[in-house]
Chains A and B, each alone.
Chain A
Amino acid sequence: MPEPEARQAPGLARALVADLHDLAVDLAVGGYTRTTLAMLERDLHRCAPSALGATITLDRGPHHVHVQAHLVARVLQPDEVCSALRIPLPMSDRAVDASITLYAAAECAFVDLAADLADDLGVTLDLATALPDRPIEPGIQGLTDFTTVNIALGHLLNRGRTLPQARDELARLAQQRNTDVARAARLLLDSS
């Protein structure tokens, strides 16, 4: 039975909590997240003893920067990870495509969990989840690009664009320069 230990600093969560502080998240929400991360860490090990951690990915479409929260206690090298399982997470906000990818050191570590999720809970899984091909660093990935894009959007808003128009303009600039929206945002800010 899961018994969250809210006051115990969870190893996997430490780096993420620091990033959440940087996210200027309300402190109470940060505390909640620490609790839920502690739950996640313990229950992940319960489901797969060789578990190394997980990544939560938030994807809001091509005009948005992907944000990934890597819940790992240390940098994971690709050759350490022998199993991965991506589980889509239903969100009430349909604009957000969220998923969690679990990592483990043992091969086939998530076979039982995958069966339980699929058979008992009817969850549709990505059974061919690719193993990571680059190191996974603790914390939130994509925040710098995310902020750059948002600040550029703010500049465009001040120049009379609506938010959708500003996003379209950044996307067009990225396409014209054959780059991504984050670099396009940087170009726009540099020219301001």
Chain B
Amino acid sequence: MGSAGRGSVAIAELRGQLHGLARRLHEDISLDGSGGVGATLLVEGRPVFGGSNGFTEAVDEVQYRLEQGPCLAAVASGRVVRSRTIGDGERRWALFTADAAPLGLRSVASLPVRVADRVVGSLNLYGQHAASLDGASTPVLRRASATAGRGMTAAWLLAVAEANARILTDAVRDREDIDIAVGLLMDRYVMTSGSARVLIAQLAAQDDVSKAAAARSLTHSDAAPPSASVSRAAHDRA
């Protein structure tokens, strides 16, 4: 797995958790049906976001693709950023506005999410009418932001735990396949477990596959009988 793939399992888990968190916040804040809530957590400086609905996701996609918009402004300034004139005179974030307005976005409210005085992400409310977010007062948003901060921290912990469990599960399965093949070879060729492991490593190198894949080729019920070269190598080792 390359460095780009590292953490991708945890990120995928996190995205799912952020979706759930955004949906709950959407209910708590009581937005009208046309709007939505997005929760963004910065991981290694990169945004990972989940939205309460497709509209929110689409807007956030635009924002993070262009690296411009109210959420990024809120994170950078540490302040609440609002607009009710997207596509109707809003002059900040010209690129973002040009792409987000056709999606139906008219109003936004973004605020930084802090954990222990540190900005860790943002909470974003998006509306399809100028007045959609007028009922979401700054105190209401700040309370939601505090909830989001705790929720995001918990979400990340959970995502990382899930990633660890998944990696361990894969490792245990590989170990299991190798061990079973070791047992099969020990019984078939009356060899030690050490010799059986070396033989599996040789097969893996010969076929340019992982040791687990080589082991599976020996133990699968539909696997062909061991080739003459395997038998020869086994007898040499036994």
Contact = CB atoms under 8 A, between A and B. Distances in A.
A78 interface: no
**Chain B's interface: helix, strand, loop or mixed, by majority?**
helix
Contacts, number: 194
A150 B7 CA distance: 30
B169 A58 contact: yes
Interface residues of A, number: 62
Contacts of B165: 56, 58, 89, 91, 98, 100
B160 A23 contact: no
A24 B119 contact: no
Nearest to B197: A24
Nearest to A192: B187
Contact of A25 (B21, B166, B174): B174
Given A89-B165, A157-B219, A113 B157 contact: yes
B81 interface: no
A50 interface: no
B77 interface: no
B180 A154 contact: yes
Given A36-B7, A192-B187, A44 B166 contact: no
Interface string A20-49: 100111101101110111011001101100
Interface in A59-102: 67, 69, 87, 89-93, 96, 98, 100
B180 A151 contact: yes
B155 A24 contact: no
B179 A154 contact: yes
B187 A121 contact: no
Contacts of B120: 1-2
A154 B182 contact: yes
Interface stretch (B52-60, B64-72, B102-110, B146-154): B146-154
A185 to B, nearest CB: 9
Nearest to A95: B169
Interface residues of B, number: 64
Interface in A97-146: 98, 100, 112-113, 116-117, 119-123, 143, 146
Contacts of B148: 120
A153 interface: yes
A117 B153 contact: no
A136 to B, nearest CB: 17
Contact of B221 (A33, A93, A112, A162): A162
Contacts of B7: 4, 32, 35-36, 39
B140 interface: no
A43 B167 CA distance: 18
A15 interface: no
Interface string B1-45: 110011101100000010011001000000000000000011111
Nearest to B18: A121
Interface string B157-199: 1101111111111111011101111111111100001000000
**What are the nearest 8 A-B pairs in CB distance?**
A154-B183, A150-B179, A120-B151, A151-B183, A1-B120, A154-B184, A116-B154, A158-B187
Interface of B: 1-2, 5-7, 9-10, 17, 20-21, 24, 41-45, 115-116, 118-121, 147-148, 150-151, 153-158, 160-172, 174-176, 178-188, 193, 210-211, 219, 221
Given A36-B163, A56-B165, A154-B179, 16 more contacts: A1-B41, A2-B120, A3-B44, A24-B178, A25-B171, A29-B167, A32-B167, A43-B157, A56-B168, A100-B165, A112-B150, A121-B20, A123-B158, A151-B179, A157-B184, A192-B187
15 contacts: A1-B115, A1-B118, A1-B120, A32-B7, A33-B168, A36-B7, A56-B161, A119-B24, A120-B150, A121-B20, A121-B21, A146-B179, A147-B175, A150-B183, A151-B183
